[in-house]
């Protein structure tokens, strides 16, 4: 469906066209009309399906069409679990809203709050925040959410997983009860659905793909390999497929750092992003990866959540995740926006039970890796 059939206002249409989008994706054309209509929405969509635009575009439109009730104040809040996602969402708002007089700010921990606070003082219409920093700044009296019109909980499953549930509950108490609420998640376990129903009013539920399914555009395979052989296997895969850019998932921060050292020793440029790295180091690693200065980015789940990297051809699970939904998120970093992708998972003896639960969740047996994969 074309964006213009969704009755998107001209300044946003112009920005969307400039971004090169011709058609709305399923989550976009199914969700946008309800959001524009003022409904609460639960959106369940795979990663890489255009989920961010499905809320950013109608929010921009609603904020433009509805006059602010007070002159200054935060009108929309997007809560998201990680710093990278906060930045990414704010970049999306900037792209789609470039012809609108609406201001955005992403706030997150790990960096000084000084700039964030001075931006807030100037006035912000759309605030994109991680829960910890938001709570901090609310407690310091730098943020007042009484003017809020729209609240978005992004990556809700992960948010609750990462122990943010109490923060989210506290934040919910500080926003007006008369508001529009939207909840997005790639997976929808039953506890998320019941949490969602506790703060959404008559939500319209939109599922664009079967729950927890993985994108068809991703060629998945599994390699049964002993721990000691993983490094050699990884190097040979990187070489055999002449992989220009791959994202490798490690379960631990220590494991990620160790793998970087081992690959660098073999002359393969690599960097790690995880929770112990400073925000600057994380952004640098990501920039170097996007600019092809490093071929391999090694990430733990926390750091890699939701990251959008164009032309990421390969994801490798150096270790399988022990939470099956995480597998769906990890491999969803590739095969995005109509491109094809490859996801190769290493499975040692101890992880066979994890593989079983993943296969149960995605509803099929992942084929074994072969040389032609
Ligand atoms: P997301 O699921 O929000 O992380 O989006 C995944 C990618 O799809 C991002 O790179 C977006 O810029 C891109 N994208 C979003 N909507 C569209 C669209 N309608 N057409 C083409 N690409 C899109």
In ligand 1, which atom is closest to the CA atom of 48?
A: 2
The 8-class DSSP code of residue 364 comes to S
Which among 208, 86, 214 is positioned nearest to 159, based on CA atoms?
86
Same domain, 120 and 17: yes
66 domain-assigned? yes
Give the span between the Cα atoms of 326 and 321, in whole angstroms: 6
Query: What predicted TM-score, i.e. pTM, was given to this entire model?
Result: 0.68
Same domain, 201 and 229: no
Ligand 1: centre distance to CA 208 (Å): 15
- Measured from CB, residues less than 6 Å from any atom of ligand 1 are 21, 24-25, 28, 47-53, 308, 336-337
Which among 263, 320, 321 is positioned nearest to 297, based on CA atoms?
263
**Domain CATH number, residue 307:** 3.40.50.300
Q: What is the DSSP string of 96-157?
A: HTTTS---EEEE-SSS-SHHHHHHHHH--SEEEE-HHHHHHHHHTT----TT--EEEE-SHH
Average pLDDT over residues 162-168: 83
What percentage of the chain has pLDDT greater than the value 70?
Answer: 92
Same domain, 298 and 336: yes
Same domain, 261 and 325: yes
Give the span between the Cα atoms of 177 and 180, in whole angstroms: 9
Q: Domain tally for the chain?
A: 2
Ligand 1: centre distance to CA 50 (Å): 4
Q: Band of the pLDDT at 106, cuts 50, 70, 90?
A: very high
CB 52 within 8 A of CB 105: no
Which among 178, 170, 121, 113 is positioned nearest to 149, based on CA atoms?
178
Give the span between the Cα atoms of 37 and 218, in whole angstroms: 34
Same domain, 154 and 65: yes
Q: Under DSSP, is residue 219 helix (H, G, I), strand (E, B) or coil?
A: strand
212 domain-assigned? no
Position 371 scores a pLDDT of 58
Given the structure tokens 């990462």, which residue do they identify?
162
Average pLDDT over residues 93-111: 95
Ligand 1: centre distance to CA 307 (Å): 12
Same domain, 137 and 232: no
CB 185 within 8 A of CB 31: no
Position 125 scores a pLDDT of 96
What percentage of the chain has pLDDT greater than the value 90?
Answer: 55
Q: Under DSSP, is residue 23 helix (H, G, I), strand (E, B) or coil?
A: strand
Give the span between the Cα atoms of 337 and 199, in whole angstroms: 31
Structural domain boundaries enclosing 185? 3-207
Instruction: Give nearest CA residue, ligand 1 atom 11.
Output: 50
Q: Band of the pLDDT at 264, cuts 50, 70, 90?
A: very high
Average pLDDT over residues 311-332: 88
369 domain-assigned? no
Give the span between the Cα atoms of 192 and 159, in whole angstroms: 10
As to burial, measured by CB atoms within 10 angstroms (0-12 exposed, 13-18 middle, 19+ buried), residue 39 is: middle
Q: Is the pLDDT of residue 16 over 60?
A: yes
125 domain-assigned? yes
320 domain-assigned? yes
Q: Is the pLDDT of residue 312 over 90?
A: no
Position 146 scores a pLDDT of 94
45 domain-assigned? yes
Same domain, 63 and 202: yes
CA angle 54, 59, 65 (to 5 degrees): 135
Q: Give the domain-ending residue among 181, 207, 233.
A: 207
131 domain-assigned? yes
368 domain-assigned? no
In ligand 1, which atom is closest to the CA atom of 310?
A: 10
Same domain, 68 and 200: yes
Same domain, 166 and 290: no
Which strands, in side-by-side order, build the sheet including 76-79? 104-107, 126-129, 76-79, 150-153, 180-185, 41-44, 204-207
Which among 82, 145, 348, 75 is positioned nearest to 233, based on CA atoms?
348
Q: Under DSSP, is residue 222 helix (H, G, I), strand (E, B) or coil?
A: strand
Same domain, 183 and 292: no
Q: Under DSSP, is residue 109 helix (H, G, I), strand (E, B) or coil?
A: coil
Position 95 scores a pLDDT of 95
Given the structure tokens 């310091």, which residue do they identify?
140
Q: Give the domain-ending residue among 156, 176, 207.
A: 207
CA angle 181, 35, 329 (to 5 degrees): 70
Give the span between the Cα atoms of 303 and 286, in whole angstroms: 10
Same domain, 135 and 248: no
Same domain, 187 and 300: no
Q: Give the domain-ending residue among 163, 181, 207.
A: 207
Q: Is the pLDDT of residue 344 over 80?
A: yes
Give the span between the Cα atoms of 185 and 64, in whole angstroms: 26
Which among 126, 76, 128 is positioned nearest to 103, based on CA atoms?
126
Given the structure tokens 């664009």, which residue do they identify?
208
Ligand 1: centre distance to CA 21 (Å): 8
Position 304 scores a pLDDT of 65
* CA distances, 267 to each of 261, 282, 317 (Å): 10, 21, 21
């Amino acid at each position: 469906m074309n964006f213009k059939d969704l009755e998107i206002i001209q300044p946003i249409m112009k920005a969307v066209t400039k971004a090169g989008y011709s058609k709305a994706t399923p989550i976009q054309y199914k969700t946008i009309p309800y959001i524009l209509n003022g409904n609460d929405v639960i959106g369940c969509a795979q990663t890489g399906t255009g989920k961010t635009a499905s809320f950013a575009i109608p929010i921009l439109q609603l904020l433009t069409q509805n006059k602010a009730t007070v002159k200054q104040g935060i009108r929309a809040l997007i809560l998201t679990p990680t710093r990278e996602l906060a930045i990414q969402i704010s970049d999306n708002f900037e792209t789609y809203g470039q012809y609108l007089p609406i201001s955005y700010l992403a706030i997150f921990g790990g960096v000084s709050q000084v700039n964030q606070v001075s931006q807030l003082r100037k006035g912000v219409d759309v605030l994109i925040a991680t829960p910890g920093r938001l709570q901090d700044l609310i407690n310091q009296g730098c943020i007042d959410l009484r003017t809020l019109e729209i609240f978005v909980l992004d990556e809700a499953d992960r948010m609750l997983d990462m122990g943010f549930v109490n923060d989210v509950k506290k934040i919910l108490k500080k926003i007006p009860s008369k508001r529009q609420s939207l909840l997005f998640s790639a997976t929808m376990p039953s506890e998320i659905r019941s949490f969602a129903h506790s703060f959404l009013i008559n939500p319209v539920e939109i599922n664009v793909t079967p729950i927890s399914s993985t994108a068809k555009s991703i060629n998945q395979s599994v390699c049964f390999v002993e721990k000691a052989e993983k490094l050699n296997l990884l190097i040979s895969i990187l070489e055999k497929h002449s992989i220009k850019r791959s994202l490798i998932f490690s379960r631990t921060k220590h494991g990620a750092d160790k793998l970087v050292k081992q690959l660098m020793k073999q002359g393969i440029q690599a960097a790690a992003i995880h929770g112990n790295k400073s925000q600057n180091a994380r952004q640098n690693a990501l920039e170097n990866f996007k600019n092809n200065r490093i071929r391999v980015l090694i990430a733990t789940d926390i750091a890699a959540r939701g990251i959008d990297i164009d032309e990421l051809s390969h994801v490798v699970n150096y270790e399988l995740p022990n939470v099956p939904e995480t597998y769906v998120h990890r491999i969803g970093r590739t095969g995005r926006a109509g491109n094809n992708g490859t996801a190769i998972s290493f499975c040692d003896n101890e992880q066979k039970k994890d593989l079983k639960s993943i296969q149960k969740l995605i509803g099929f047996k992942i084929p074994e890796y072969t040389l032609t994969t």
